[in-house]
């Protein structure tokens, strides 16, 4: 009886792994679509006559492009490593995302301090992980 349940367990894990892989592929394709849509938007904004008034729109479009690009990189890394993504890679994504938010956020000083503090905490986390947790790991893929 135990063999039967082990067999069902193995089949279920394979099935769910395939569903997860296919879902990542679909999400990746959707992100590629949005990535090209942002490229098209940036190109049309670049050829508009009065580009000085569209500064924040162009900046927002560029930042959106890089967000889609990072999510695509995350999906590619996840597919390559069979669903596993490095913690340092995820922290690095968080740092770059918060830096992008910091570039466009100009409303309140408290918000700027909170975002800056969050960036500092994530950087400290990356340093601690590299120095004390992953000391013997020389894999440059995390970075």
Q: pLDDT tens digits for 78-123? A: 888 877 788 888 898 889 888 888 887 777 888 889 999 999 999 9
Q: Are residues 7 and 53 located together in one domain of the fold?
A: yes
For 37-53, what is each residue's pLDDT tens digit? 888 888 887 777 665 65
Q: Are residues 56 and 15 located together in one domain of the fold?
A: yes
Q: Which residues contact 111 (CB under 8 A, 6 or more apart)?
A: 105
Q: Poorest-confidence range of 55-64, 68-77, 105-114?
A: 55-64
> 71, 30 in Cβ contact below 8 A?
no
In a domain, 79, yes or no: no
Q: Are residues 90 and 57 located together in one domain of the fold?
A: no
Q: Are residues 91 and 60 located together in one domain of the fold?
A: no
Q: Are residues 11 and 50 located together in one domain of the fold?
A: yes
Q: Are residues 48 and 108 located together in one domain of the fold?
A: no
Q: Are residues 61 and 122 located together in one domain of the fold?
A: no
Q: Can you give the residue range of the structural domain that contains 54? A: 1-66
pLDDT at position 143:
47
In a domain, 75, yes or no: no
Burial class (CB in 10 A: 0-12, 13-18, 19+), 118: middle
In a domain, 20, yes or no: yes
Average pLDDT (68-73) is 86
pTM metric for this prediction: 0.68
Residue 13, CA distances (Å) to 2, 9, 65, 78, 111 in order: 16, 6, 35, 17, 44
In a domain, 72, yes or no: no
Tally of domains within the chain? 2
In a domain, 104, yes or no: yes
pLDDT at position 125:
92
pLDDT at position 46:
77
Please provide the average confidence, as pLDDT, over all residues in the chain.
Answer: 82
Average pLDDT (3-8) is 79
Q: Are residues 1 and 37 located together in one domain of the fold?
A: yes
In a domain, 142, yes or no: no
For 12-28, what is each residue's pLDDT tens digit? 888 988 898 888 889 98
> 34, 68 in Cβ contact below 8 A?
yes
Q: Are residues 102 and 54 located together in one domain of the fold?
A: no
Q: Which three-class secondary structure state does DSSP give residue 53?
A: coil
């Amino acid at each position: 009886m135990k063999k039967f349940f082990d067999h069902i367990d193995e089949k279920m894990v394979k099935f769910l792994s395939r569903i997860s892989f296919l879902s990542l592929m679909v999400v990746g394709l959707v992100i590629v679509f949005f990535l090209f849509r942002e490229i098209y938007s940036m190109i049309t904004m670049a050829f508009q006559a009065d580009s000085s008034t569209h500064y924040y729109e162009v900046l927002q479009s560029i930042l959106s492009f890089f967000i889609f690009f990072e999510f695509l990189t995350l999906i590619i890394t996840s597919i390559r490593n069979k669903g596993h993504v490095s913690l340092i890679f995820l922290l690095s994504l968080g740092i770059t995302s918060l830096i992008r938010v910091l570039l466009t956020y100009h409303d309140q000083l408290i918000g700027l301090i909170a975002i800056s503090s969050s960036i500092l905490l994530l950087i400290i986390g990356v340093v601690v992980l590299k120095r004390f947790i992953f000391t013997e790991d020389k894999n440059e893929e995390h970075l």
